[in-house]
Amino acid sequence: MNTRDKTYSAARMNEAMLSSMQPPTLRWYLLALVLGAVVAVGLYAFTVQLTTGMVVTGINRPVMWGLYIISFVFWVGLSHSGTMVSAILRLSQASWRRPILRGAEAMTVFSIAVAGLFPLIHLGRNWIFYYLIPYPSQYGLWPNFRSPLLFDMVAINTYIIGSGIFLYIGMLPDLALVRDRSTGWRRKIYGLLAIGWRGTAEQWRVFSRGSTLLACLIIPVAVSVHSIVAWDFAVTLVPGWHSTIFAPYFVIGAITSGVAAVITLMIVIRKAFKLEEFLLPLHFDNMSKLLLAVCLLWSYFYFAEVFTTWYGHKPIEWEWFSYMHDHYGLALFIMILGNTIVPIVGLCFRRVRRSTAALLGITLLVNVAMFIERFLIVVPSLSHKNIPFIWGSYTPSWVEMSIALAAFALFFLLYTLFTKFFPILAITDVREQEEALIGQQQLGRARVETLVNEE
């Protein structure tokens, strides 16, 4: 960044970084329309399920959980991006995170919101989902706090609220900036959202303290959320699920898919809003190194899990394992290819780490592989449980597939809307770093003489 001209004005920078918020073009409307249409198809499919029953899904006995739970685990995994990129890198003072963090935090909020829909869609009687909420009822009935599904309910809600606050607080100075640059009713709304941010030294001090504290608090939440999702499986007696390694393994898997998805989104945002001057090869390089590290960890965990199963050769464990091997050989191969072989080999090379085209391919492949991984965790184990008489298989129906697809469309739709209404780059964070070289700061309306440093 220091190659850039020092006289490059702050106003011009704001302009460039707020480019995503310009009035929508026809292309944007078209995109929103297509995404909206896919969501509508998903809604229709859900209506069919709601009015007919779970018979329209591919669920059966013994495979009582299917694509909905797989999607749930996948989206919870994606939601670990923001925490990882924003909170952990903030605490480790990696200043290259700055242009990436907003995009990652927004991704966290939207993917956990999408994830939260799946357990509700998956219920046999969706209309009484509130039985899971501990509310004071006339019957004096409480939900069962021993059930991992209730841990889930609490964890997901905590994470939605926590990551929402994390995103919002981090965005405050930028909202003030948008407020100062907008007019009319927009100014009023952004004014409300900016809750009186003036950019005084005191405000910055509180802001910086608060952000660090939030970063510290959100990390244990994120780790616990995916551990709890893992325990949905690990606490059961189902062969193949009942494994102590599941919680850390799921957390690493979540970070793997989260980091990969952040890179994918960075590439898309950079291209769509022409942010080449802010998202530099350095950022992609560093994120790729992170991805390389978590892919190595994931492979280690997977190997540890599979190796002990294979070596122990307990008949009941071996049954689901060989079933998976025989029936999902291709999927297994794609998973190993996408999570281990391609990223670990590819990301060792600096040229690959700095090439957006190569990275786009690799990161998409990682997430395809992660989706397959979740499928291979849920389905083969359930298909061949303890009782051979009730062995079965599972193929998702069009209803399940439409809803799973609609979830992707919903996520992108929310994301596109977000980029239109909120600054997708953390402007003040980026400028903080930029102007550290110049030694002065123009923030909001106030001029702060002292340098607001990292934490």
Gap between the terminal Cα atoms of the chain = 21
- CA dihedral of residues 125, 129, 130, 134 (deg, nearest 10): 110
Q: How far is the CB of 64 from another protein (least distance, A)?
A: 4
* Interaction of residue 191 with another protein, rule CB under 8 A: no
User: How far apart are alpha carbons 388 and 7 in whole angstroms?
Assistant: 74
User: How far apart are alpha carbons 160 and 333 in whole angstroms?
Assistant: 34
* Interaction of residue 144 with another protein, rule CB under 8 A: yes
Max Cα distance, the chain (Å): 76
Stretch that binds another protein, among 35-43, 164-172, 231-239, 265-273 (CB under 8 A): 231-239
Supply φ then ψ for residue 442, to 5 degrees: -110, 110
Supply φ then ψ for residue 183, to 5 degrees: -130, 170
Enter the DSSP assignment of 389: G
Q: How far is the CB of 387 from another protein (least distance, A)?
A: 5
Task: Please identify, using beta-carbon distances, which residue of 65 and 168 lies nearer to another protein.
Answer: 65
* Interaction of residue 93 with another protein, rule CB under 8 A: no
* Interaction of residue 122 with another protein, rule CB under 8 A: yes
In sequence order, the β-bridge partners of residue 441 are: 448
* Interaction of residue 158 with another protein, rule CB under 8 A: no
* Interaction of residue 220 with another protein, rule CB under 8 A: no
Task: Please identify, using beta-carbon distances, which residue of 45 and 218 lies nearer to another protein.
Answer: 45
Residue of the chain from 3, 23, 92, 124 that contacts another protein (CB under 8 A): 124
Task: Please identify, using beta-carbon distances, which residue of 55 and 91 lies nearer to another protein.
Answer: 55
Residue of the chain from 61, 92, 138, 312 that contacts another protein (CB under 8 A): 61
* Interaction of residue 53 with another protein, rule CB under 8 A: yes
Task: Please identify, using beta-carbon distances, which residue of 250 and 415 lies nearer to another protein.
Answer: 250
C-alpha 146: how far from chain center: 27
Task: Please identify, using beta-carbon distances, which residue of 151 and 422 lies nearer to another protein.
Answer: 151
Local structure of 442: helix, strand or coil:
strand
If binding means CB under 8 A, how many residues of this protein chain bind another protein?
Answer: 43
C-alpha 77: how far from chain center: 6
Residue of the chain from 9, 22, 47, 52 that contacts another protein (CB under 8 A): 52
Which of 449, 348, 399 lies closest to 122 in space, CA to CA?
399
* Interaction of residue 54 with another protein, rule CB under 8 A: yes
* Interaction of residue 27 with another protein, rule CB under 8 A: no
User: How far apart are alpha carbons 401 and 114 in whole angstroms?
Assistant: 15
* Interaction of residue 146 with another protein, rule CB under 8 A: yes
* Interaction of residue 398 with another protein, rule CB under 8 A: no
Task: Please identify, using beta-carbon distances, which residue of 34 and 133 lies nearer to another protein.
Answer: 133
Local structure of 347: helix, strand or coil:
coil
Two structure tokens written together for 78:
């994606």
* Interaction of residue 390 with another protein, rule CB under 8 A: yes
